[in-house]
């Protein structure tokens, strides 16, 4: 089972109305404008050209001390929550992973804030899930400061559902994973779905695109239909690192050339950002992570530029391939030659700005 299939728990919905970056206004119109402005400002620069000496300096400074904002934190409590997709999933995922476990998994890694990511819970428990996360965020006792919640944008009831949460500053966006077996290609382009995506933009909420790597062109089409909504491409477009090796997996898990061009097409949409996350779950076991994951990470960073990429842990789903620490150490190695400011943007600065997190 591939990691992205396993991670189908990531369906969602919800969002949050907007507080502008400066907390000025929560009207939907303001939210729309704020989101657009944030993105417009993000696309102006590319990775800067630096000398070899500066690169060397950057590498030395790529200290593990650069703080992390984890934009993809899962939590599930199997005593109270039903995640249908876990049935049949590897044993390592069939445990309760809650705040205590997250603290242990990230110990010493300088995670300063986290954004919860919905877990494809039984739809009957979506409201409970969202309300629980609101409580966690509002308690301010853990790194979890905001949440992306579950939802079903293709349903007529979505608008009423999401409007209930749109005024909560802790709710930042919605996700329904699109790679489940029952979700057909083109699902996110259905009229009701598109309408819901436009509503999210008006409410200042984002949508996480978690889809099969061969179907990213649907994401491009959706982003163009809803230019006022911020879309976040989860897990580097769910690329399989095995497709990019010097001796790629056979048969190829997906077409690497198509993925590359589709990522570039997504990056060409100014309302799309890329979450660098998730890919360790399907990393080959016999190659150092930094080596096997570099082609995917670097293509995403180079395509989206330094201002439209964010870091995500994807814990505990990452455990299918390696620990949270394995992922962080591999990523720090991969980006060590990039300018320190670009590393900071990826690891925390962009998340702080784009998710409008509390200081």
Residue ranges that bind Zn ion, judged by CB under 5 A: 7, 10, 314, 317
Distance CA 226, CA 294 (A): 31
Instruction: Tell the smallest beta-carbon distance from residue 235 to Zn ion (Å).
Output: 7
Instruction: Tell the smallest beta-carbon distance from residue 115 to Zn ion (Å).
Output: 12
Residue (64 or 84) nearer to Zn ion, CB: 84
Of 236, 225, 177, which Cα lies nearest the Cα of 13? 177
Strand pairing report for 144-150 and 171-175: parallel
Instruction: Tell the smallest beta-carbon distance from residue 43 to Zn ion (Å).
Output: 26
Distance CA 123, CA 82 (A): 9
Local structure of 276: helix, strand or coil: strand
Local structure of 149: helix, strand or coil: strand
Residue (70 or 202) nearer to Zn ion, CB: 70
Instruction: Tell the smallest beta-carbon distance from residue 109 to Zn ion (Å).
Output: 18
Query: Which run of H or of E encompasses 231?
Result: strand 231-233
Residue (129 or 314) nearer to Zn ion, CB: 314
Residue (10 or 307) nearer to Zn ion, CB: 10
Give, in order, the Cα–Cα distances in Å from 85 to each of 18, 97, 231. 32, 15, 24
Distance CA 166, CA 151 (A): 13
Residue (170 or 314) nearer to Zn ion, CB: 314
Instruction: Tell the smallest beta-carbon distance from residue 245 to Zn ion (Å).
Output: 23
């Amino acid at each position: 089972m591939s990691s992205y299939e396993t991670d189908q728990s990531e369906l969602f919905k919800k969002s949050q109305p907007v507080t502008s970056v400066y907390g000025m206004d929560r009207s939907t119109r303001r939210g729309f404008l704020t989101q657009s402005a944030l993105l417009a400002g993000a696309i102006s620069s590319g990775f800067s050209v630096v000398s070899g000496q500066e690169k060397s300096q950057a590498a030395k400074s790529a200290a593990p001390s650069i703080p992390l904002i984890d934009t993809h934190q899962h939590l599930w409590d199997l005593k109270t929550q039903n995640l249908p997709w876990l049935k049949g999933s590897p044993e390592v995922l069939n445990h309760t992973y809650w705040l205590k476990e997250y603290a242990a998994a990230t110990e010493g890694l300088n995670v300063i804030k986290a954004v919860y990511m919905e877990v494809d819970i039984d739809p009957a428990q979506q409201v409970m899930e969202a309300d629980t996360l609101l409580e966690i965020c509002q308690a301010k006792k853990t790194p979890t400061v905001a949440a992306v919640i579950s939802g079903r944008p293709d349903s007529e009831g979505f608008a009423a559902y999401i409007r209930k949460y749109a005024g909560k500053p802790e709710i930042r966006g919605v996700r329904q994973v699109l790679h489940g077996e029952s979700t057909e290609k083109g699902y996110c382009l259905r009229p009701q779905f598109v309408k819901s995506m436009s509503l999210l933009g008006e409410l200042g909420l984002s949508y996480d695109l978690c889809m099969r790597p061969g179907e990213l062109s649907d994401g491009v089409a959706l982003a163009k239909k809803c230019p006022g909504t911020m879309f976040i491409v989860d897990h580097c477009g769910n690329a399989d690192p095995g497709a990019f090796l010097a001796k790629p997996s056979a048969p190829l898990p997906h077409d690497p050339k198509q993925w590359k061009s589709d990522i570039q097409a997504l990056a060409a949409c100014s309302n799309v950002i890329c979450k660098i996350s998730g890919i360790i779950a399907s990393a080959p076991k016999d190659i150092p992570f930094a080596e096997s994951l570099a082609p995917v990470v670097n293509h995403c960073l180079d395509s989206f530029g330094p201002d439209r990429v964010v870091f995500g842990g994807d814990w505990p789903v990452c455990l299918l391939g390696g620990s949270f620490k394995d992922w962080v150490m591999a990523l720090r190695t991969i980006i060590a030659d990039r300018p320190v400011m670009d590393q900071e943007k990826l690891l925390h600065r962009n998340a702080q700005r784009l998710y409008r997190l509390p200081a």
